[in-house]
Each structure stands twice: as structure tokens, then as C-alpha cells.
Structure 1
Amino acid sequence: MRDTLHLRPLEKEDLEFIYKMRTNPNVMDYWCDEPYTTMDKLRKSYEAGHDSDSHRQFILYHSKEKVGYLGLFDIDARHRNAEFAIMIDPAQQGKGYATDATRLIVEYGFNQLNLRKLFLFVVNINEKAVHIYQKVGFQMEGELKKHFFVDGSYHDASIMSLFREDYVN
């Protein structure tokens, strides 16, 4: 499947696709954010960050269909690290896209941006995500006790990381 997946930089016309996910409570619970935004706010955020070197945002495609959104955020050129995040369209979840998409962005970060470390935050109750990240090579780096409020209660979260020298593609 990996050969049918590809990334394309986020464009303004993709905002409607992202808006649908950003207002979906089932998606945003695992991004540890409330499912509240407006198209105007999303457009302003896009415009403000469009020329920024501190993040790279992509739309994930399977053949010609949009299936997800992912990016590297807070890219630190001095320390050569960045935070990774991914969001798969709920209609496309369970099809195996997340693992291959994670590999694509890891390879981009290491091979194009010359990063040495990628990290992420994951709510521990999101066992599928933890499994995917571990399958790609991310390792637990630390735990945050009752850190995120998801679905009415506080949950532990983990910080996971992957170093370039540990990545096996």
C-alpha cells in the first residue's frame, strides 16, 4: 500500500477537509483538543503559518483520495528535532494508512530536513496509535500522569520519540 500513498503540502483548498476532522469530537479527543474551530480561524491560522519554517503540514493521499493530515511541528533547526502529529479521516480509519503515513513523514523529517529526533504525545488509552508508533520504531520516553482530559476524565499520556540512528525502514 505504501506505494499508493503520497504526501502533498497543505494548500488553502484543503482547509475544508481539515475542518471536518477538527470539528469531529472523536478525532479531536485524541489530538487532546476540543472539537471547536471555525473556517475563518482555520484560514487565519493557515495564512499566518504559510511562510513559517517551523512546521511542515501535509495532506495524505491514497491514489487520488484525501485520507489524512499530518505534519512536523515546532521544527527546531538548532537541536534538529520536531513534534510529529497525524490525523486520519474517520471514514478512512482501519485501512492501514497510519503506519505507512508515519513512515513517510519520518523519512521526510530525517532525509529532507536532516532532523535527528522526532517526538510525539499520545494518550495511553489510544492503544492503536501507541501500537502503530512502536511498529515504526518510536519508543516510550516518558509518561505524563493524568495529563489530558478526554471524554470526561483525565488520562495518562506518553512522550514517544524516534532517533534517526534507530530508524529502520
Structure 2
Amino acid sequence: MSEPHILLSGETLALAMPRADMLPEYHKWENDPATILGYGNQWAQAWEVRAAGYERQRGNDRFQQFEVVRLDDGTPVGMTILEVNTYVRTAEFVMVLAPAERGKGHAAEATRLTLDWAFHLAHLRAVWLKVLEPNKAGISAYEKAGFRSAGRLRRSGFWLGKPVDELIMDAVPEDFPEPSAVAATFGD
């Protein structure tokens, strides 16, 4: 495995460039049953589909991916993605954590670092996400990072085979909780 190329460091985690040699690991995370449950998907994705998608995404400036790594040892713990709408300068936020790294408090810091990048380097006006209502841990992590409730799509998702609401959450720069890792790195 290659060494991570760190882009932005937080307290315990950092955002890094995604690595092609990590693609098989990312694929495992994305196809873990708990990940599929949280996304509301029904099926695992074939390796060939994921590999082809990675090639298309690499040159797409509207699909910004970050590998999330632990600072103490460089171990990858997840991915965050900003699906950018360049016309209105907003983005949809998506995150996946490695199954072994869930429940360790990484989600809030990874989300916060990605919002910091979005607002202070990419100059986005807003970032939004959808989360299934039963995903209480995800909702809590997103709120800690600065997301606020913005609405709901009734019965638009599935959780354990039952229709559930998807909550829409958003964040704007004014919601971003200080301190900023970008400002700490590059000055106010």
C-alpha cells in the first residue's frame, strides 16, 4: 500500500488523496452490509462496476473524494465525497467508514474536515446530505460537524426492509463550528 498524501490535518484524522491501490479496500467498505443498510441500497456492487466508476470519477471535478486517515499511523478509516454542483456552488456530502473503524468517533471529525475544505478552500455556499432517520449515530455526527435539519423525504428510504423517512440536512459557512483546520494551517 502506498503512503497517504495528506491534504488537511485535524486533531486525530486527516483528509488525503484517494489512492488507486486502495480501491479494493474502498470496495469492501462500500459493500459491507452495514454500509448498504445505511445508504438504503439493496445490493452489493460488482468489482468491475466499482473499478470502472473510479476511472470515470478521477477526472471529474464535480466528484471530489477524500480518503480519511488516522494521523498517528496513516491507517485509512474511511472516505468522504463532495458531489459538487458547480453552477450554484453547493455539494452533496457522502461518507463511508471502514467497518472496523465505526463507533470510534471518526464520523464527526471526518465530516467536519470535509466541511472545512468545502467552505474555506472550495468556497461552496452550502453542503447537504440525506440520512435515513433510524441512523441516529450518523445524525449525531453530522450535527456535531455543523449540519442542521433541513427537511425530510417521507418513506423514501429503506431500513431493515421497511420504508423510512430520509432526513435532509444542510450546512452553510455560518454553521461551521470553529476552529478551522484550514485557518490554523494557512492563517486567518
- Aligned twin of 1:60: 68
1:40-59 equivalence runs, <5 A: 40-59=48-67
Q: How does 1:97-116 map to 2 (within 5 A)?
A: 97-116=106-125
Provide, for residues 95-143 of structure 1, a one-character-per-residue CA deviation record: whole Å limited to 9, x for no partner: 1111111110000101111001000000010011111111222111111
User: Among residues 32, 37, 51, which one is paired with 1:29 in the alignment?
Assistant: 37
Please list, as runs of the form range in 1=range in 2, the aligned pairs for 1:148-163 lying within 5 A after superposition.
Answer: 148-163=157-172
- The CA distance in 2 between the partners of 1:27 and 1:154, in whole Å, is 17
Letter paired with 2:135? N
Pick from 14, 26, 31: which aligns with 2:22?
14
TM-score, normalisation: structure 1: 0.94
- Distance apart, 1:55 and its partner CA: 1.1
**For residue 131 of structure 2, what is the aligned residue in structure 1?**
122
Alignment of 1:131-150 (within 5 A): 131-150=140-159
Count of residues in correspondence between the two structures: 168
CA–CA distance in structure 1, aligned partners of residues 130 and 45 of structure 2: 21
Q: d(CA) in 1 for partners of 2:173 and 2:61? A: 21
Preserved contact between residue 117 and residue 162 of structure 1 (Cα < 8 Å): yes
Q: Distance in 2 between matches of 1:166 and 1:159?
A: 15
CA distance in 2, matches of 1:133, 1:28: 19
Distance 2:57 2:108 in 1: 27
Please report the RMSD computed on the Cα atoms of aligned residues, expressed in angstroms: 1.4
Q: Percent identity?
A: 28
Q: TM-score, normalised by structure 2?
A: 0.85
The alignment partner of 1:10 has SS state of coil
SS at match of 1:26: helix
Q: Which amino acid aligns with 1:30?
A: G
Cα contact 1:15–1:43 (8 A) shared by 2:
yes
Give the whole-Å Cα distance in 2 for the aligned partners of 1:52 and 1:134. Answer: 29
Q: Which moved more, 1:27-36 or 1:142-151?
A: 27-36
C-alpha separation between the residues in 2 aligned to 1:9 and 1:146?
36
2: distance between equivalents of 1:161 and 1:150? 22
Q: 1 CA distance for matches of 2:107 and 2:175?
A: 20
* Structure 1 contact 12–43 (Cα < 8 Å) conserved: no
Q: Does the CA-based 8 Å contact 2:30-2:96 persist in structure 1?
A: no
Give the structure 2 partner of residue 69 of structure 1.
79
Give the partner amino acid of 2:161.
G
Mark the CA change 1:120 to 1:67 in structure 2 (over 3 Å): closer, same or farther: same
